[in-house]
Structure 1
Amino acid sequence: METEQNDKAEVTPVQLWIAISVPVFLFSFVLIVMGLIFPFRFVFLLCVGWASYLVRTLSRLTISPSQTLMFLSTLLLFAVGFHLYCRRIKRRLSADPVEVIPWQRRWSLSLVSMFLLLAVSGICVISVTHQFFWMATTQDKIFEKLYMGSAGQAARRSTSKNNLKQIGLALHNYHDMYRQFPVGGTFDNAGQPQHSWATQLLPYLDHKTLYEQINFDQPWTAADNREPFETRLPSLQSPGMPYDFTEAEGDAAIYKPAHYAANSRVLSANSGMDLRKIKDGTSYTILAGEVRSGIKAWGDPTNFRDPTEGINRNPRGFGSPFTGGAHVLMGDGSVRFLSEDIDPDILKALSTPQGGEPVGEF
């Protein structure tokens, strides 16, 4: 009788699964109806977010044959030495050397694999801790991204686009005053860097007071100019990028970055350009654009680059943290979003002010 009651009281796996899944499903349904999708986005990104990261980064990884060979050789020597050492220790500790079973290779292989796995796991834990610390302290917090979703990215893209429009308006106001755009960067007779195009635009970016604090008789890195160039300029920083040089050391870390660079074919070293010299048409010539790598300070006179290096293709080219491409400022003051898959010939035509190349639709 007691055995029959125990059989009836036994819960099957299916019943247990139903008992757990039904409340979870109902609770999830209530959250979705209330519009609280943040927990689901968070879980989804934790589960599959790493896959999209691998897709983006694997294509940029480069493998050094010499370093790979050195690593494998070192690992092999370590494994052989470890195996010989363990075999010798086992013989010494055995009570009867005659009947002792020799140390097996598979034991050494298992231990070496475990050591390697522990080393990699330690590096991963340190990296994850570093990333969580960065996400918790950066001004563009990860939880805001998860909560805002696509709307948040659209807002950041719109802000970056407006920043470029402000830069374009400042460039044209400067041109109205001096009959040419500012030079990409000024250098003295000895080739030493002095000041950047962004510094010359300060009065036209509502930073006239900051402009008046700069001693133009000294280079931008001089002690007299240190304080002005430590100032963050919101119009030169994209909301999708770090506001400080997080990996820089020494004096470089004190300066504030610019997430926009000039087109070196229009604004370069000791070279500005008159609108009349843009023979290809201002609406078909890039003046500046977003950058996401090789970022320099806004006061750096070398803050210009060649757009023909590609969009999100090369650290020396233009790029953005946004998906699919980057914003660029055209000579007429308009801002266009160029796809990272744009035809290289069209990109070259947009980069040259008087190349005469046909552009067509882009």
Structure 2
Amino acid sequence: MLRARPRPGFSLVELLVALAVIAVLIGLLLPAVQKARGAAARAKCQNNLKQIGSALHQYHDTERRFPTGLSGATGGSNRPYLGWLARTLPWLEQGPLWEQVERAFATDLDPAKFYGHAPHAQLSATPVRHFACPSDPRAPGPAVAPGAIAVAFTSYLGVEGTDQYKNDGLLYLDSRTTIADVSDGASNTLLAGERPPPPDNRLGWWYRGWGQNKDGSAEMLLGVRERNTSEAYCPPGPYRFAGGNFDLQCDAFHFWSTHAGGANFAFCDGSVRFLSYAADDILPALATRSGGEVVTVPD
């Protein structure tokens, strides 16, 4: 009668060594995988900004100016509180969504009230993938904001200049700027940059919004030395370009991103560049359209 040969097996020591080797390999590979994912998200984020910048220039080619940063209630617009991002929709392959915008205002008997008209509410809650950085967990939404309003967000805010009072950038309340206004040079002037929405969902709406003072500030517009006029428990500013935190409301008042070390910005020449937080000192010069500053944008 044949006897079965005993099968060779692993000793306890050999098993522990194998597990240790696997753990080391995982420890080595995981940062590389995370780094690759981060690079992919950053590239997608840059591509979104590139498309937005292209849409802004196509708008300019058609209308002979850049879109208004935000239409005020008394600025002569028939679309009060509509943001610049909404106006780029036809050039982002979102023509049907823009038609909904036009119908919403055409049927709104009192658009200056902002709230209450159902077509506007539906649009406010509609996410647009072009406006969301893939590494930004809150964008595009929708989420519930104060007042039980469903809203969708943007990761990209127009650069209004130094702050909400100076109007020295390209996109601000009732702005009507053109390429000819950019005497500082298109390659040295910012159009838009990254900032995730704050934790209470009150700011960062892409469609319509009031911002801090019904001027779009910290909503879909932001200055590089923005002032806080709406949050009693946050410093008044001016705020600077630095890293932020999803859980801090005060980080709504400066540009920052989920990417390590800096954020992406679209420039007036159509380029998109990643600026490190070390570039904060030159950001005011880059944010103004005609300040006469001489700066070198870091690589």
**C-alpha distance after superposition, 1:259-302 (max 9, x if no partner):** 10001121111113100000000110000001024441111342
Q: Which amino acid aligns with 2:19?
A: F
**Residue 261 (structure 1) aligned with residue 157 (structure 2):** yes
Partner residue, 1:341: 278
Partner residue, 1:289: 193
**Residue 203 (structure 1) aligned with residue 90 (structure 2):** yes
Tell me whether 223-232 or 201-210 shows the greater mean CA deviation: 223-232
Secondary structure at the aligned position of 1:332 is classed as coil
Q: Cα offset for 1:37?
A: 1.7
Partner residue, 2:248: none
Q: Cα offset for 1:21?
A: 6.6
Write 1 or 2 for the structure with the bigger share of helix: 1
Partner residue, 2:224: 307
Q: Contact between 2:145 and 2:151, CA under 8 Å: does it hold in 1?
A: no
For 1:255 and 1:161, locate their aligned partners in 2 and report how far apart those are by CA, in whole Å: 24
Q: Cα offset for 1:249?
A: 3.9
Q: Cα offset for 1:31?
A: 6.3
Partner residue, 2:287: 351
Partner residue, 1:240: 135
Structure 1 residues 256 and 157: alpha-carbon distance in aligned structure 2, compared to 1, 3 A threshold: same
Partner residue, 1:37: 26
Structure 1 residues 20 and 349: alpha-carbon distance in aligned structure 2, compared to 1, 3 A threshold: farther
Partner residue, 1:169: 54
Q: Cα offset for 1:343?
A: 4.3
Tell me whether 259-268 or 191-200 shows the greater mean CA deviation: 191-200
Q: TM-score, normalised by structure 2?
A: 0.71
For 1:184 and 1:329, locate their aligned partners in 2 and report how far apart those are by CA, in whole Å: 15
Determine what percentage of the aligned residue pairs are the same residue. Answer: 31
Structure 1 residues 300 and 228: alpha-carbon distance in aligned structure 2, compared to 1, 3 A threshold: closer
Q: Cα offset for 1:238?
A: 0.7
Structure 1 residues 190 and 223: alpha-carbon distance in aligned structure 2, compared to 1, 3 A threshold: farther
Partner residue, 1:328: 265
Secondary structure at the aligned position of 2:53 is classed as helix
Q: Which amino acid aligns with 2:159?
A: N
**Residue 188 (structure 1) aligned with residue 73 (structure 2):** yes
For 1:339 and 1:152, locate their aligned partners in 2 and report how far apart those are by CA, in whole Å: 19
Partner residue, 1:229: 124
**C-alpha distance after superposition, 1:173-202 (max 9, x if no partner):** 000000100010011228995211011111
Taking CA–CA contacts closer than 8 Å with sequence separation of 6 or more, which of the two structures ends up with the larger relative contact order?
A: 2
Q: Contact between 2:65 and 2:176, CA under 8 Å: does it hold in 1?
A: yes
Q: Which amino acid aligns with 2:55?
A: A
Structure 1 residues 197 and 347: alpha-carbon distance in aligned structure 2, compared to 1, 3 A threshold: same
Q: Which amino acid aligns with 1:216?
A: F
Q: TM-score, normalised by structure 1?
A: 0.59
Secondary structure at the aligned position of 1:356 is classed as coil
Secondary structure at the aligned position of 2:258 is classed as coil
Partner residue, 2:234: none
For 1:250 and 1:38, locate their aligned partners in 2 and report how far apart those are by CA, in whole Å: 46
For 1:293 and 1:299, locate their aligned partners in 2 and report how far apart those are by CA, in whole Å: 14
Q: Contact between 1:311 and 1:338, CA under 8 Å: does it hold in 2?
A: no
Structure 1 residues 323 and 147: alpha-carbon distance in aligned structure 2, compared to 1, 3 A threshold: closer
Q: Cα offset for 1:230?
A: 2.0
Q: Which amino acid aligns with 1:339?
A: S
Q: Which amino acid aligns with 2:204?
A: K
For 1:151 and 1:185, locate their aligned partners in 2 and report how far apart those are by CA, in whole Å: 37
Q: Cα offset for 1:245?
A: 5.6
Structure 1 residues 31 and 206: alpha-carbon distance in aligned structure 2, compared to 1, 3 A threshold: same
Structure 1 residues 361 and 203: alpha-carbon distance in aligned structure 2, compared to 1, 3 A threshold: closer
Q: Cα offset for 1:248?
A: 3.0
Q: Cα offset for 1:228?
A: 2.5
Partner residue, 1:270: 174
After TM superposition, list the pairs within 5 Å mapping 1:79-228 onto structure 2: 148-189=33-74, 193-214=80-101, 215-217=104-106, 218=108, 219=111, 221=115, 222-228=117-123
Structure 1 unaligned spans of 5+? 1-18, 42-145
For 1:169 and 1:358, locate their aligned partners in 2 and report how far apart those are by CA, in whole Å: 26
Structure 1 residues 250 and 336: alpha-carbon distance in aligned structure 2, compared to 1, 3 A threshold: same
Q: CA RMSD in A?
A: 2.7
For 1:21 and 1:353, locate their aligned partners in 2 and report how far apart those are by CA, in whole Å: 69
For 2:12 and 2:185, locate their aligned partners in 1 and report how far apart those are by CA, in whole Å: 66
Secondary structure at the aligned position of 1:327 is classed as strand
Runs of 4+ in 1 over 6 A off after TM superposition: none
